[in-house]
Amino acid sequence: MSEIRLKSLAHSYGTSSSGHIDYALREMNHVWEQGGAYALLGPSGCGKSTLLNIISGLLTPSSGEVLFDGKVVNHLSPQDRNIAQVFQFPVIYDSMTVFDNLAFPLRNMKIAEPKVISKVHEIANILELHPVLKKKAHNLTVDEKQKVSMGRGLVRDDVSAILFDEPLTVIDPQLKWKLRRKLKQIHEQFKLTMIYVTHDQLEASTFADKIAVMYGGKIVQFGTPRELFENPKHTFVGYFIGSPGMNLIEVTPCENGVEFDGIKVPLEASHNNLLAELSTKNVKIGIRPEFIHVWDKPVADAFECQVLHIEDLGTYKILTLKLASQTLKARLSEDHILPEKVAFISFPEQWLKLYVDEYLVEERLEEITAGENMAEENDV
Amino acid sequence: MNKVENNKAWWLVLPVFILVAFSAVIPLMTVVNYSVQDIFDQNNAYFVGVEWYREILLNTRLQESLLRQFIYSFTVLAIEIPLGIAIALMMPKKGIMASFSLIVVAIPLLIPGNVVGTIWKIFGRADIGLFGWLLNYLGMDYNYAANPIDAWATVVLMDVWHWTPLVALLCYSGLRAIPEVFYQAAAIDRASKWAVFRFIQLPRLRNVLVIGTLLRFMDSFMIYSEPFVLTGGGPGNSTTFLSQTLTKMAIGQFDLGPAAAFSLVYFLIVLLVSWLFFTTINEMAKDK
């Protein structure tokens, strides 16, 4: 059991054709606390599997350090790191029985056979693998196989963390739900640090206490599912989490707020001040479809827009709206009044987020001041 | 539900039936025909029943030859299969060296059997052959033409040189088909090198090894040209294998009846051993 700390970690698989280094992972600092259930969420190719393989030791990072409980483990092989990893496709030893598969890591560690037997039975119980324990592993169904691969990680007492690399990709939807529950249960029972890689936000939020959203080789936000939903710190988090994703509109600063297509959106005074301090052209406002207020008749401070499309998804409806040249989505509950053709919308201030250079304005400012402080320190 | 009966579909089997008839059944039937008759000339053939079969099964020369054949085939398999696996494991996985080693390993396979015989005939000579000369230089009294043990060793070595590459190439392709993730999982499970071989590589080589073993068994069991060119079956009869005995009987002595009977027995032995091997292997993979 251990805390996993990543210190100035970066990785590159090699230089690109144009000569500069192609980073699969950009320099990052991150801490996975002992006993936490974490998800690493991001689109394909964002570097999440790379990060996972670096933690398990299958890959050596090009720079930076991986620390387990404060000890640098960069040079340690996966065998010596006490890590278990479950892969996207079940990896089983075909020629062995399920029992021997589960016993394999223990026998490799030369653990006494009576202990092996009791440990295997314990894990088989938890994973409900008892009925197939004597079967050859290659005759199992795919979800049983995946359970066996998980079981091989769980039998070891010395495991400090279990890493899951999209383990439910090949599993049927109904079984997915069952296995996810099982994982959660195992986490509660063993209090192991678990890191779960996925591109499915539902999977991430049902499994994990905290989610790290990765984008372009970086962790852009690390927080609870609620934080990610209510306060996305990066436009990508807004877009990627939620269904549909956050509405993002490119704007230009103006007096007391921002404007787009001649429409003025007033902002809080503090935001205006922040905006004034930054000199950048990349400014966006974002609001979740759930938080847009919608009326069917004119209301003070509401913008008039065209209703393009209504999708009825049973418990809620999604409205596609056109405000000037922007297309917006709004999510309405079942019993909400449904505007026809024309709708009037407003953006509640507390849910209206301001993004500068794709980052939430507060974050961006912090980063800049941190940079300045660093520069000052260096001067001294 | 009414099932539509249309027996005309059977005509679709006809092409395969004709093909198999001409390629296998009819030629084989000729042999069956010969094996039950005593033929003096075109107009004088007598039906003898199982007489030829009785004769060949009691023929000690054939029995000795059959025993020799089994020893030879098993020796060759016992060396070529493990050696082929070992070579495949040692070959580079990618890059220019992989292509290079593939070509080097494949070269012996491109050489016809009688040429291989000739190569080793010269190679093994004490006066002008490098191999024979070297062994004698090192103090060994090596002479494949005079010493039965030397002759045997040379015949086996020749086959190993010629055919191990086949096993190696089959295994190489099998090894390349194992996904990287299996090795990663094994590393995490702390498997030793031996355990990786025993529980990942070997099980996943099973199919290519079955094919390789069958091919090598059948081929080595029917070997003819290499030992014929190298030793001519000698010294004495020490390297006279089944096909050579059979050829001598059929063409040398023109005993067509016994030769035909023996051909059939020969064919059945190959079929039986292959079938036994294949079913045993398949049974082993099943759950008890």
Tell me the C-alpha distance between B3 and A379, whole Å.
93
Residue at B170 is within a domain: yes
Per the CB < 8 Å rule, is A56 touching B287? no
CB–CB of B231/B190 below 8 Å?
no
The residue count of chain A comes to 380
pLDDT of residue B53: 85
Amino acid at A70: G
HSE at residue B243, side-chain half, CA atoms within 13 A, is 15
Taking the domain A4-230, which CATH number applies?
A: 3.40.50.300
Give the pLDDT band of residue A380 (cuts 50, 70, 90).
Answer: very low
> Against a cut of 0.80, is the pTM above it?
no
Check if the beta carbon of residue B51 is closer than 8 Å to that of residue B163.
Answer: no
Indicate if the pLDDT at residue B232 is higher than 60.
yes
Q: Does B190 touch chain A (CB under 8 A)?
A: yes
Instruction: Report, as an integer, the average pLDDT of B181-209.
Output: 89
Q: Which chain B residue lies closest to A57 (C-alpha atoms)?
A: B188
Q: Which pLDDT value is given to residue B80?
A: 94
- Specify the CATH number for the domain of residue B181: 1.10.3720.10
- pLDDT at residue B100 in the model: 92
Contacts of B188 (CB under 8 A, 6+ apart): A56, A58, A78, A79, A83, A84, A85, A153
- Cα–Cα distance, A102 to A116 (Å, whole number): 9
Q: Kindly determine whether residue B190 and residue A84, on different chains, have CB atoms separated by under 8 Å.
A: no
Cβ contact (<8 Å) for B181 and A87? yes
Closest alpha carbon to A84 in A9, A186, A230: A186
Whether residue B200 lies within 8 A of chain A, CB to CB, comes out as yes
The ipTM value here is 0.74
- Max mean pLDDT among A4-8, A69-73, B209-213 falls in B209-213
B98 in a structural domain: yes
Most B CBs within 10 Å: which of A100, A101, A108, A162, as the mutation test of the B interface?
Answer: A108
Q: Is residue B44 part of a domain?
A: no
Pull the structure tokens for residue A205.
């939020």
Averaged over A60-69, what is the pLDDT?
A: 86
**Contacts with A139 from chain B: Cβ below 8 Å:** 287
A151 φ/ψ angles, rounded to the nearest 5 degrees: -55, -40
C-beta atoms surrounding B206 within 10 Å: 15
Give per-residue pLDDT as tens, B33-83: 888 888 777 777 788 878 888 888 888 888 888 899 999 999 999 999 999
Residue B249 lies in a domain: yes
Return all residues near B30 (Cβ < 8 A) that are at least 6 apart: none
Mean pLDDT of B159-164: 93
- Is residue B242 one of the residues assigned to a domain? yes
Q: Could you tell me what percent of chain A has a pLDDT over 90?
A: 2
Q: Kindly state whether residue B175 falls inside one of the protein's structural domains.
A: yes
* pLDDT score at B108: 92
The reply to whether B28 falls in a domain is no
* Shortest distance, CA A174 to any CA of chain B (angstroms): 26
- pLDDT value of residue B91: 92
| A–B interface: beta-carbon pairs under 8 A | 56
Instruction: Answer whether A11's CB lies under 8 Å from A50's CB.
Output: yes
Instruction: Return the CATH number of A245-371, one of 3.40.50.300, 2.40.50.140, 3.40.50.2300, 3.60.15.10.
Output: 2.40.50.140
| Per-residue pLDDT at B104 | 93
Residue B200 tokens, joined: 């990942």
Amino acid at B32: V
Cβ-defined contact of B187 to A104 (cutoff 8 Å): no
pLDDT at A370 over 70: no
Comparing B247 with A374, the larger pLDDT belongs to: B247
Work out the pLDDT band at A44, boundaries 50, 70, 90.
confident
What dihedral do alpha carbons A19, A25, A29, A35 form, nearest 10°?
A: -160
Start-end ranges of CATH 2.40.50.140 in chain A?
245-371
- Is it the case that residue A371 has pLDDT exceeding 70? no
Q: Is residue B200 part of a domain?
A: yes
| Residues A245-291: tens digit of each pLDDT | 898 888 888 878 888 888 888 888 777 877 777 777 788 888 998 88
More confident residue, A252 or B166: B166
On chain A, the residues whose CB falls within 8 A of the CB of B285 are 136
The first and second tokens of residue A136, run together, are 């050859």
* CB of B182 less than 8 A from some CB of A: yes
Tell me if B199 and A104 make a contact (CB, 8 A cut-off). yes
* Domains: count for chain B: 1
How far apart CA B217 and CA B209 sit, in angstroms, is: 12
